[in-house]
């Protein structure tokens, strides 16, 4: 037992060593501290990366750094944009920020995506910010921070961004490729699962933190309506098990009207060959994406694990997701927990979906690579479902290897046996993911920081179309 303890101490020391300070106060952590590789943007604090570190700090009772991060990122405004970059919308949180010193003065410089590869704007940053605010409030008891006018306004601006009227009839969010953890082109444009799950968690967080005041009432009504429609939509239409696969296999196409089973016109021929043999009889999962005439059958790990933690997947679905992970352990966990998605895109699919992205070669990086940071979500989901032994087995696979390999960002290969070709060493969220996994297993009460209780899904209106009396009496012409 001495080795894991010493490894945790080393990991804690490494995490403390990468803290960023602004005006003498801790405000975040750098993405990586690899002395053998150029910094590029790894010396910045990324919102989604820091979220994992922040949960660790909260589990350790270190609330100041999280409070400072929340206040700083909320206060960041858009700086000068490049000529071809439009002003980011209010409510958008930065992808990252860095602290620069000019003329003896410290400045915080945010990046809303204008410097990112392919200039992709992060959709998930504002959702992780809300989830951190909820967790901070739980640990510190400092409800007053969330209730300040600035934070209430910040929550409303995030909701404004999400509730904006658009050319769409779905309760899900339409987003571009590369707008979340998978931040490169991977064919996930549209309604990727991870964003929908984070959106659901953000809605439930906003419902908890918005004050009962007249100016918040419209937002509360909007949240209440959207959260139920979103839950119904994801549970009903994103779900995949053997029964659902058989239903899709026998779908009729080109159906019209309200009472149809194949309402998105999914063609049975689009079912990939690998799925019919890979899907276990007792398991199931939420598919990666869904849209008109399109179902992305890939398994995306972070979205499915967060769906368990947020209770977006119902109890039976959650158990079936975990059963699938156990049944397909060699594919999804293998030698280094765990695959970011399965299977990898190969051949012509890889060429078309990734644009010949050499970093996203099959079974590498975001195209089926293994990401140790996902260990903490696996541990949390297993703990929530009463299966801590599963999480312990996953940790046992990794702890010695991570230390030997110097905490890499990701691993390559079907089994995750190769350190990623372009992976940074001493990747902060790899370190934090290990610490969070251990902390959740040792102190299960920490689970509440990232978990939501199940609640019944009650649609607030009948989705079936109704005949409107008086259509024939509508007058045409001038007002």
The residue to which tokens 């943007």 are assigned: 41
Residue 64 has pLDDT above 60, yes or no: yes
pLDDT in the model for residue 169: 85
Within 253-309, strands assigned E span 284-291, 294-300
Considering the chain, what percentage of its residues have pLDDT values greater than 90? 80
Q: In terms of Cα–Cα distance, which of 278, 283, 341 is closest to 313?
A: 283
* Confidence class for position 460, pLDDT limits 50, 70, 90: very low
Residues 6+ apart with CB under 8 A from 69: 27, 28, 45, 50, 54, 132
pLDDT in the model for residue 474: 66
Residue 437 has pLDDT above 90, yes or no: yes
pLDDT in the model for residue 90: 75
pLDDT in the model for residue 445: 97
pLDDT in the model for residue 321: 98
Residue 475 has pLDDT above 70, yes or no: no
pLDDT in the model for residue 461: 47
Average pLDDT, the chain: 91
pLDDT in the model for residue 84: 58
Radius of gyration of the chain (CA): 23
Q: Are 62 and 54 in contact (CB under 8 A)?
A: no
The residue to which tokens 């300070």 are assigned: 21
Q: Are 67 and 458 in contact (CB under 8 A)?
A: no
Query: In the chain, where are the structural domains located?
Result: 10-460
* Confidence class for position 168, pLDDT limits 50, 70, 90: confident
Q: Is the domain 10-460 a CATH 1.50.10.10 member?
A: yes
pLDDT in the model for residue 463: 45
* Burial label, 460 (beta-carbon count in 10 A; 0-12, 13-18, 19+): exposed
Strand duo 284-291 + 45-46: pairing: unpaired
Q: What is the mean pLDDT of residues 252-271?
A: 92
* pLDDT: which is higher, 76 or 313: 313
Cα three-residue angle 400-405-409, rounded to 5 degrees: 110
Burial 432-453 (b: 16+ CB within 10 A, else e): bbbbbbbbbbeeeebbebbbbe
Residue range 368-402, pLDDT digits in tens? 999 999 999 999 999 999 999 999 999 999 988 99
A 10 A CB-CB count for 118 gives: 13
* pLDDT: which is higher, 240 or 35: 240
Residue 466 has pLDDT above 60, yes or no: no
pLDDT in the model for residue 175: 93
As a whole number of angstroms, the distance between CA 412 and CA 358 comes to 13
pLDDT in the model for residue 1: 41
Q: Is the pTM of this model over 0.75?
A: yes
Q: Which two tokens stand for residue 416?
A: 């995750």
């Amino acid at each position: 037992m001495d080795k894991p303890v010493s490894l945790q101490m080393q990991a804690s020391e490494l995490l403390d060593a990468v803290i960023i300070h602004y005006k003498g106060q801790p405000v975040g952590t750098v993405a990586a501290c690899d002395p053998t590789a150029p910094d590029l943007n790894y010396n910045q604090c990324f919102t989604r990366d820091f979220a994992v570190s922040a949960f660790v700090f909260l589990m350790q009772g270190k609330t100041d750094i999280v409070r400072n991060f929340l206040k700083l990122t909320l206060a960041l405004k858009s700086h000068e944009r490049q000529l071809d970059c439009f002003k980011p919308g209010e409510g958008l949180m930065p992808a990252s920020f860095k602290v620069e010193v000019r003329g003896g003065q410290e400045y915080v410089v945010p990046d809303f995506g204008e410097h990112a590869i392919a200039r992709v704007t992060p959709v998930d940053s504002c959702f992780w910010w809300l989830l951190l605010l909820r967790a901070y409030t739980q640990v510190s008891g400092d409800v007053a921070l969330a209730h300040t006018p600035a934070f209430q306004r910040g929550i409303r601006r995030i909701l404004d961004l999400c509730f904006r009227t658009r050319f769409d009839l779905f309760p899900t969010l339409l987003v571009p490729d590369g707008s979340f953890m998978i931040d490169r082109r991977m064919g996930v444009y549209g309604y990727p699962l991870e964003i929908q799950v984070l959106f659901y968690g953000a809605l439930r967080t906003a419902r908890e933190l918005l004050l009962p005041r007249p100016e918040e009432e419209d937002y509360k009504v909007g949240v209440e309506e959207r959260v139920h429609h979103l839950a119904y939509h994801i549970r009903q239409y994103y779900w995949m098990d053997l029964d659902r696969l058989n239903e899709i296999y026998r779908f009729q196409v080109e159906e019209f009207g309200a009472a149809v089973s194949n309402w998105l016109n999914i063609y049975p021929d689009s079912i990939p060959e690998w799925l019919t043999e890979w899907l276990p009889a007792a398991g199931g999962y939420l598919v990666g994406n869904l849209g008109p005439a399109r179902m992305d059958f890939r398994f995306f790990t972070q979205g499915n694990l967060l769906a368990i933690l947020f209770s977006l997947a119902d109890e039976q679905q959650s158990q079936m997701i975990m059963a699938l992970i156990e049944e397909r352990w060699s594919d999804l966990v293998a030698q280094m927990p765990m695959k970011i998605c399965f299977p990898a895109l190969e051949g012509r699919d890889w060429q078309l979906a990734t644009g010949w992205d050499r970093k996203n070669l099959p079974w590498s990086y975001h195209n089926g690579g293994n990401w140790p940071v996902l260990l903490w979500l696996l541990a949390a989901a297993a703990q929530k479902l009463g299966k801590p032994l599963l999480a312990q087995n996953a940790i046992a696979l990794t702890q010695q290897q991570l230390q030997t390999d110097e905490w890499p960002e990701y691993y390559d290969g079907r089994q995750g046996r190769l350190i990623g070709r372009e992976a940074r060493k001493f990747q902060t969220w790899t370190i934090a993911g290990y610490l969070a996994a251990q902390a959740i297993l040792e102190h299960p009460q920490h689970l509440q920081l990232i978990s939501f209780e199940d609640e019944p899904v009650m649609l607030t209106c009948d989705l079936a179309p109704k005949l409107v009396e008086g259509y024939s009496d509508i007058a045409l012409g001038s007002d």
